[in-house]
Amino acid sequence: MKWSLRIARFAGIDVFVHWTFVLLITWILLTNLGAGRSLDESLWSIWFVLSLFVCVVLHEFGHALTGRRYGVKTKNIVLLPIGGVANMEKMPEKPIQELWVALAGPAVNVVIAAIIGTILYAQGKMQLPADPSGAINTGNFMFNLFVVNLWLVIFNMIPAFPMDGGRVLRALLAMRYDKVKATNIAAKLGQVLGIGFIGLGLFYNVWLVFIGIFIFLGAGNEASYESTQALLSRYRVADVLMRQFTTLHVWDRLDKAVALLLNGQEKEFLVEDDNRIVGVLTREDIIRGLQQSNTDITVGRIAKTELVQLSLDMSLKDAFEQMAKAGIAISPVYENEELVGVVNQENIMELLMVQEAMAASR
Ligand SMILES: [Zn+2]
């Protein structure tokens, strides 16, 4: 993780904290000291924020560990000043599973709030502490932690992407409609809510404007992601196969690749050795090769050796996912272990654009 520090590892999942977190802590310390509080008093506010983020981490583990039960891996959990993100590979396909994964996060905060609430109630401290300064201290620390966990539940359950509530709503709708339609309804509602928040925020609180923009953009992103996924899953690799392609040999010199690039339409090439495809060479690789050395260098020395093997009847969604994961723009396609053609990302994107344009014109 760039710009992040690993602070913990639990259940095989690394927890990272982003460096901007330091800014948040510094800001809290400075505003407290600026308000005339002593260092001791100010440190209570920092303890409070750190405790809050422990609750956020537990929330994310709620998502991650529930996802694991359905076979979804979580790469890591990253803490940003605005909250936490569990980087899950994907959401489970079945609506009921997505529902549980989405609910598991807020459920953790409900449990935390219930535990703190019970303790406070047993101690007879379950009322708003009278401290007009709003500063965190030993007297109101637990009560504030209780309240903030309730806020985490309410905020996350706003029924709009990218909040958990948006996923809950989509999962519920997907039990009745297909996933694309469910996503579209949830996204539309999210955008309406987003505009509502922006409108309210202009009159009451500028934070609501930010939340509104966040929700509005998140809703649009989710809708277009989901419709792309649905579109891709309707096609197979055979639908975008290109049978005309040029193969380079590992011993070919770079200037041969340069000539092919300049004289033809192709921007990526397969690289073979002993009649076997061993790598791919993209335009970027060729340019990088030219910058680093002269054209005498062989293709084999600059080609990427990561390969994804696709078959004709594979779904385009899986193919695109695998190519994106490996970071390669072109991939050989086999039928009965025989090379029959190539698929490149550009072709897949073109298919998507054409289909989306046709859908828009209907
Ligand atoms: Zn969540």
pLDDT tens by residue, 182-216 = 888 888 888 898 899 899 888 888 888 888 888 88
Q: For residue 327, report the distance from its CA to the centre of ligand 1, in Å.
A: 28
Enumerate residues 6+ apart whose C-beta is below 8 A from 334.
309, 310, 311, 312, 340
Q: For residue 204, report the distance from its CA to the centre of ligand 1, in Å.
A: 26
Q: For residue 83, report the distance from its CA to the centre of ligand 1, in Å.
A: 9
d(CA 44, CA 197): 32
Residues 114 and 213 placed together within one structural domain of the fold: no
Facing residues of 277 across strands?
272
Residues 327 and 207 placed together within one structural domain of the fold: no
On the 0-12 / 13-18 / 19+ scale of CB atoms within 10 A, 120 is middle
pLDDT, residue 133, reads 63
Residues 60 and 204 placed together within one structural domain of the fold: no
d(CA 244, CA 238): 14
Domain boundary among 157, 192, 224: 157
Q: For residue 177, report the distance from its CA to the centre of ligand 1, in Å.
A: 24
What is the Rg, in whole angstroms, of the alpha carbon atoms belonging to the chain?
A: 26
Residues 194 and 107 placed together within one structural domain of the fold: no
Residues 2 and 149 placed together within one structural domain of the fold: yes
Number of structural domains in the chain: 3
Q: For residue 163, report the distance from its CA to the centre of ligand 1, in Å.
A: 7
Q: Where are the alpha helices (DSSP H) in the chain?
A: 20-34, 39-69, 95-122, 141-156, 164-174, 179-203, 206-233, 254-263, 283-292, 299-302, 316-326, 345-361
pLDDT, residue 106, reads 94
| Sheet order of strands, 4-10 included | 4-10, 13-18, 74-80, 83-88
- Do 63 and 104 contact (CB within 8 A), yes or no? yes
Q: For residue 96, report the distance from its CA to the centre of ligand 1, in Å.
A: 16
Residues 321 and 189 placed together within one structural domain of the fold: no
What is the span of the domain harbouring residue 76?
A: 1-157
Residues 337 and 278 placed together within one structural domain of the fold: yes
Q: For residue 56, report the distance from its CA to the centre of ligand 1, in Å.
A: 8
What three-state secondary structure class fits 336? coil
Residues 28 and 142 placed together within one structural domain of the fold: yes
pLDDT, residue 2, reads 65
Q: For residue 149, report the distance from its CA to the centre of ligand 1, in Å.
A: 12
pLDDT, residue 102, reads 92
pLDDT, residue 1, reads 58
Residue type, 38: S
d(CA 341, CA 189): 44
Q: Look up the CATH number of the domain holding residue 248.
A: 3.10.580.10
Domain boundary among 188, 203, 233: 233
Q: For residue 246, report the distance from its CA to the centre of ligand 1, in Å.
A: 48
Q: For residue 155, report the distance from its CA to the centre of ligand 1, in Å.
A: 10
Q: For residue 211, report the distance from its CA to the centre of ligand 1, in Å.
A: 15
Q: For residue 278, report the distance from its CA to the centre of ligand 1, in Å.
A: 42
Q: 91-105: per-residue pLDDT in tens?
A: 787 889 999 999 999
Residues 343 and 225 placed together within one structural domain of the fold: no
Q: For residue 169, report the distance from its CA to the centre of ligand 1, in Å.
A: 14
Domain boundary among 99, 125, 157: 157
Per-residue pLDDT tens listing for the chain (362 residues): 567 788 888 888 888 888 888 888 888 888 888 888 888 888 888 888 889 889 999 999 999 999 999 988 888 888 877 777 888 877 787 889 999 999 999 999 999 999 999 998 888 877 766 665 667 777 788 888 999 999 989 989 988 888 899 889 989 998 998 888 888 888 888 889 889 989 988 888 888 888 888 888 888 777 778 778 878 888 888 888 888 888 888 888 888 888 888 888 888 888 888 888 888 888 888 888 888 877 678 888 888 888 888 888 888 888 888 888 777 888 888 888 888 888 888 888 888 888 777 776 76
Residues 7 and 34 placed together within one structural domain of the fold: yes
Residues 39 and 151 placed together within one structural domain of the fold: yes
Q: For residue 52, report the distance from its CA to the centre of ligand 1, in Å.
A: 14
Tell me which residues have their CB within 5 A of the ion that is ligand 1: 105, 164
Residues 135 and 16 placed together within one structural domain of the fold: yes
The model's pTM is 0.70
Q: For residue 26, report the distance from its CA to the centre of ligand 1, in Å.
A: 26
Q: 265-295: per-residue pLDDT in tens?
A: 888 888 888 888 888 888 888 888 888 877 6
Q: For residue 300, report the distance from its CA to the centre of ligand 1, in Å.
A: 46
